[in-house]
């Protein structure tokens, strides 16, 4: 097991308390081999302890820092795993909103989604004007511009992560949130010729990184995509 300790002194912030309690609530409703499972939570006079399964590996962020890029076959394998894990979130009407390499961790050869602190169970239909949270680099254009968004914001973030696995850098960047928005809206998506990636994979990424949500590929289509070996979810 792994234990996350949070001092009760931090609960002086109502917003922080809401985030932590939400993390526990969401984590305890979702069970999947590609999601770090939450076992329990214990509150003492001094601390809150969140008990999860132990993962013996490093984060995807650290792996990419070491290797820079992954071969297409390996990237597809890990990408399929996290999309499979996301299927459990999708079935529970959960939007993660902070998918990024630092929140993807290995346990042996299994890549798992972790840190559901920014996740929220949403109502039927999925559209939300929830508080904007997450990491700007991986935010969808809708989140960056504080517009309404759906669970397709996580499709965008997954597309960013997949691109980074293959090319060793994000598809767009910016020194500020405004510069990032400008880069996304003014610079077409590019696939460097220096790294060989199949046309099918590049086409999938291009469908995930469509600026307008209505035209972006959705999760049901992702789960059935022939490039991804997604089995029927066994979430509890």
List the catalytic residues. Answer: 98
- Cα–Cα distance for residue pair 158/231, rounded to 1 Å: 18
Give the distance from CA 187 to its chain's centroid.
Answer: 24
Other CB atoms within 10 Å distance of the CB of residue 179 = 12
User: Phi and psi dihedrals of 51, rounded to 5?
Assistant: -105, 120
Strand-strand pairing, 38-43 and 120-121: unpaired
Listed residue (133, 105, 101) closest to 120, CA to CA: 133
Q: How many CA atoms lie within 13 A of 38 on its CB side?
A: 22
Asked if residue 99 lies in contact with residue 49, where contact means CB atoms within 8 angstroms, the answer is: no
């Amino acid at each position: 097991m792994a234990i996350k300790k949070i001092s009760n002194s931090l609960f002086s912030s109502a917003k922080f308390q809401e985030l932590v309690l939400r993390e526990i609530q969401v984590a305890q409703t979702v069970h999947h081999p590609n999601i770090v499972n939450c076992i329990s939570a214990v509150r003492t006079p001094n601390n809150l302890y969140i008990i999860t399964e132990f993962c013996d590996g490093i984060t995807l962020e650290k792996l990419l820092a070491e290797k820079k890029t992954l071969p297409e076959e390996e990237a597809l394998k890990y990408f399929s795993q996290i999309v499979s894990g996301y299927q459990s979130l999708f079935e529970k009407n959960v939007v993660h909103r902070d998918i990024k390499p630092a929140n993807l961790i290995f346990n042996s050869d299994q890549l798992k989604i972790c840190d559901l602190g920014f996740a929220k169970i949403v109502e039927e239909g999925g559209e939300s004007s929830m508080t904007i949270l997450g990491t700007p680099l991986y935010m969808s254009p809708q989140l960056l511009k504080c517009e309404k968004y759906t669970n397709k914001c996580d499709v965008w973030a997954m597309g960013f992560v997949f691109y980074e696995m293959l090319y060793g850098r994000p598809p767009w960047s910016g020194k500020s949130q405004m510069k990032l928005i400008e880069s996304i809206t003014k610079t077409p998506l590019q696939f460097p010729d220096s790294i060989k990636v199949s046309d099918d994979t590049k086409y999938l990424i291009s469908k995930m990184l469509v600026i307008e949500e209505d035209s972006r590929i959705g999760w049901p289509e992702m789960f059935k995509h022939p490039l991804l070996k997604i089995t029927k979810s066994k979430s509890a």
